């Protein structure tokens, strides 16, 4: 009795909320024929990811604790364990899509990197206008790579501090050269990109080759719109990925 009731509820929710079949939530269909929606290509997904990097400012840095901890005041059993910690980034190298990070020497993420860890930046899209009808439908991704220190020429030439402080006015307090915390400018050199665009029946889920990530142009980033980016009600969330002409996205779809 209960099973039947919840099954019927699931079915009605599935159609009312335009949810995918359960087996298509976290995986793409194996054939094009099976897809109920147009699934963006890998390159289109790369453009979405680059726009998210451009508009978002905060993500999670994941690193791995080293095995040695002689001088560290930390539990011994965390060696080899990943830890994800919130941090700021800035999209200050549009030519490559390598995020810029202000590395504070005493922060755990950067201590782990100094001890040899690679690093992953994970981020997700937050609509400025609407709560999503399902957060699982919203793009998120991880950039896997390593940190590289910027040279003084790059710092001056690319106006890194101005770019970063535009995203993070408060970071002006801990820019390199401040009196309290030792810090330096680094880039996350992106090696691999793992993307979950949303539900698998209408969004690409999988690896994006780094060449696709790097080849995205400013024009492409400016042109695309992310779910909920426009102020026209949550209908836009449902129709996201049911490709809409750009004009229709501008106005007049308020529900």
Ligand X SMILES: *[C@@H]1O[C@H](CO)[C@@H](O)[C@H](O)[C@H]1NC(C)=O
- Contact positions toward ligand X, by CB under 6 A? 116-118, 146, 191
CB of residue 118 vs ligand X: minimum separation in angstroms?
Answer: 4
The three-class DSSP label of residue 151 is coil
Kindly tell me which of 114 and 135 has the beta carbon lying closer to ligand X: 114
Closest chain position to ligand X (CB): 118
Dihedral of CA atoms 61, 215, 166, 52 in degrees, nearest 10, equals -60
Residues linked to residue 246 through DSSP beta bridges, in sequence order: none
CB of residue 189 vs ligand X: minimum separation in angstroms?
Answer: 9
- Pairing between β-strand 100-104 and β-strand 82-88 as defined by DSSP bridges: unpaired
- Residue burial 5-42, b: 16+ Cβ < 10 Å; e: rest: eeeeeeeeeeeeebbbeeebbeebbeeeeeeebebbeb
CB of residue 117 vs ligand X: minimum separation in angstroms?
Answer: 6
Kindly tell me which of 96 and 118 has the beta carbon lying closer to ligand X: 118
Kindly tell me which of 124 and 146 has the beta carbon lying closer to ligand X: 146
Kindly tell me which of 18 and 112 has the beta carbon lying closer to ligand X: 112
CB of residue 57 vs ligand X: minimum separation in angstroms?
Answer: 26
Largest CA distance in the chain: 71
């Amino acid at each position: 009795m209960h099973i039947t009731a919840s099954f019927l509820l699931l079915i009605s929710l599935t159609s009312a909320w335009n949810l995918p079949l359960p087996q298509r939530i976290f995986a793409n269909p194996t054939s094009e024929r099976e897809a109920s929606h147009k699934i963006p290509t890998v390159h289109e997904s790369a453009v979405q990811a680059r726009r998210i990097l451009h508009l978002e400012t905060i993500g999670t840095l994941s690193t791995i604790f080293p095995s040695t901890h002689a001088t560290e005041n930390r539990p011994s059993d965390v060696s080899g364990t990943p830890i994800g910690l919130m941090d700021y980034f800035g999209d200050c190298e549009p030519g490559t899509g390598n995020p810029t990070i202000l590395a504070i020497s005493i922060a755990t993420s950067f201590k782990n990197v100094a001890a040899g860890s690679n690093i992953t930046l994970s981020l997700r899209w937050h609509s400025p206008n609407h709560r999503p009808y399902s957060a699982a439908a919203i793009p998120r991704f991880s950039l896997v790579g390593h940190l590289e220190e910027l040279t003084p020429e790059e710092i001056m030439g690319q106006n890194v501090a101005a770019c970063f402080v535009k995203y993070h006015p408060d970071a002006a307090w801990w820019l390199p050269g401040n009196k309290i915390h030792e810090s330096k400018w680094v880039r996350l050199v992106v090696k691999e990109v793992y993307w979950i665009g949303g539900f698998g029946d209408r969004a690409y889920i999988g690896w994006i080759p780094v060449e696709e990530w790097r080849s995205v142009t400013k024009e492409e980033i400016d042109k695309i719109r992310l779910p909920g980016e426009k102020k026209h009600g949550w209908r836009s969330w449902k129709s996201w990925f049911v490709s809409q002409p750009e004009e229709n996205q501008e106005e007049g779809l308020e529900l």
